[in-house]
Amino acid sequence: MKRIWLFLIILVLCVACFSDIGISSSDQGYQETWHEYNISIDKTDDEKPSIYENIVAWEGEKGICIFDTLSGTKKTIPRMGGRMEDPDIYGDIIVWADYRNGNWDIYMYNLSSNEDRQITKNASDQEHPSICGDIIVWQDSRGEKTNIWMYNISSGIERPVCPINMSQIMPRIHNNKIVWSEYDWHGKGYPNIVLYDLEKEDKIYVTNNSSIYQTSPTIFEDKIVWVDLRNGDSDAWVSWEVYPVKVNSDIYIYNITSKKEMIICNHPAGQWQPAIHGTKIIWADLRNDADGVDLGDGTDNVDIYLYDLKLKKEYQLTTNSKSQGEGGEQCTGRSIDIFGNMIVWEDERNMYWKDYGSFKFLTNTDIYLYTNESVNVPMQNQNGIRELLSQYRYILITSIVAVALLISFIYYKIKMRKLKHEK
């Protein structure tokens, strides 16, 4: 009897420990019911995810991939001869940059009607679209400088937002407010963060220091977050594509209502690609890398971190030794996104070297979903038994304890009956 109980106790403890995968935090209770899911469609490179409610869209090798977290259904908007990049989603509309015409144009796809539409037809490049409501914004190179343009889906009107003899890049829109980075391309200063109110037709500089590199702005309601190099090396950031590089980039926030600025993360390692929804801010962070240097060779260790404005706490969301949210484009990429309690990112943990004869390169980046909500993800997409056990941890433990008690009860009945017969 003692041996059976010892075996059952050890089994329960093993399941409890084994199922406690890759989630680390200074306050474990915040994340104890959160789980990771690999939602990628195939074994190719999946990049730059965007999420709105239960729909995730990302850039795949065959087109724009779409995943419904409620139904578990997947579909692809197929490529039509050119690359499709930087998807963004709002409601049932997905927008992206498309190279099918030999230059970058903005396209949109309606999930309800299954119809796509070409938004821009100018021969210059239009890139990095963002959508909210009826308004699509993007960076447009049709003039002497790259400026921000917009398109109203209802009226069909396309126009520049705030034309100026400065370069405007990487716009993001929420409600009637647009943010972007703005700078003089001819070396007279680094980018500043700009806010434009469509209703008031009013432009303000959120930052106003051209000796510091500020980039990657994003906005939710009255809060703007961005990457800031005031404590780091702006020159190193500009030459990021020349590896290796070490920068001290931080995450800052500006409250439009109170007009107050605050630093969110000032760890001496690099932080980039912030995203915000509600009171949660997420970003990619290099602090756990062995040398804190971005080598760009697949050996870096980039993790996803979260700061909760309401709780005033920072949390580490990923602990895998490979990179999550790096994306290879710290200056212009969007490798992570958040909506409510759903977080998505570009993940390198399953990458491998693919041989093309005369050369090799790393491939198979995946899209991961992190949430505490109920989702419908095919089990073959999961990374083995550890994620399965983590997802159903408490059900498994409860079931094992129940079975153990039942076995003990049956054993007790059999033993008592045997003793009764012996008497």
pTM for this structure? 0.82
Task: Give the domain extent around 24.
Answer: 1-32+392-423
Query: For residues 161 and 152, what is the distance between their CA atoms, to the nearest angstrom?
Result: 12
Furthest CA-CA distance within the chain: 104
Domain co-membership, 268 together with 410: no
pLDDT value, residue 419:
73
Give me the torsion for CA of 176, 168, 329, 25, rounded to 10°.
-40
Angle at 308 between CA 182 and CA 350, to 5 degrees: 80
pLDDT value, residue 242:
46
Domain co-membership, 417 together with 333: no
Domain co-membership, 320 together with 241: yes
Q: What is the pLDDT of residues 103-132, one digit of tens each?
A: 999 999 999 999 999 999 999 999 999 999
pLDDT value, residue 169:
93
Domain count, the chain: 2
Domain co-membership, 142 together with 175: yes
Query: Low-confidence residues of the chain, pLDDT below 50?
Result: 16-30, 240-244, 328, 330, 383-389, 391
HSE (side-chain half, CA atoms, 13 Å) at 198: 22
Domain co-membership, 374 together with 303: yes
Q: What is the CATH number of the domain that holds 241?
A: 2.120.10.30
pLDDT value, residue 354:
80
Domain co-membership, 15 together with 157: no
Domain co-membership, 419 together with 341: no
pLDDT value, residue 404:
77
Domain co-membership, 223 together with 347: yes
Structure tokens at 80: 């039509």
Domain co-membership, 272 together with 353: yes
Domain co-membership, 26 together with 40: no
| Cα–Cα distances in angstroms (integers) from residue 197 to residues 116, 180, 255, 272, 312, in the given order | 29, 12, 14, 25, 28
Domain co-membership, 163 together with 14: no
Domain co-membership, 300 together with 378: yes
Q: 64-69: long-range contacts at Cβ-Cβ below 8 A with a sequence spacing of 24 or more?
A: 64/94, 64/96, 64/109, 65/40, 65/41, 65/367, 66/94, 66/111, 67/39, 67/41, 67/367, 68/376, 69/39, 69/342, 69/369, 69/371, 69/373, 69/375, 69/376, 69/377
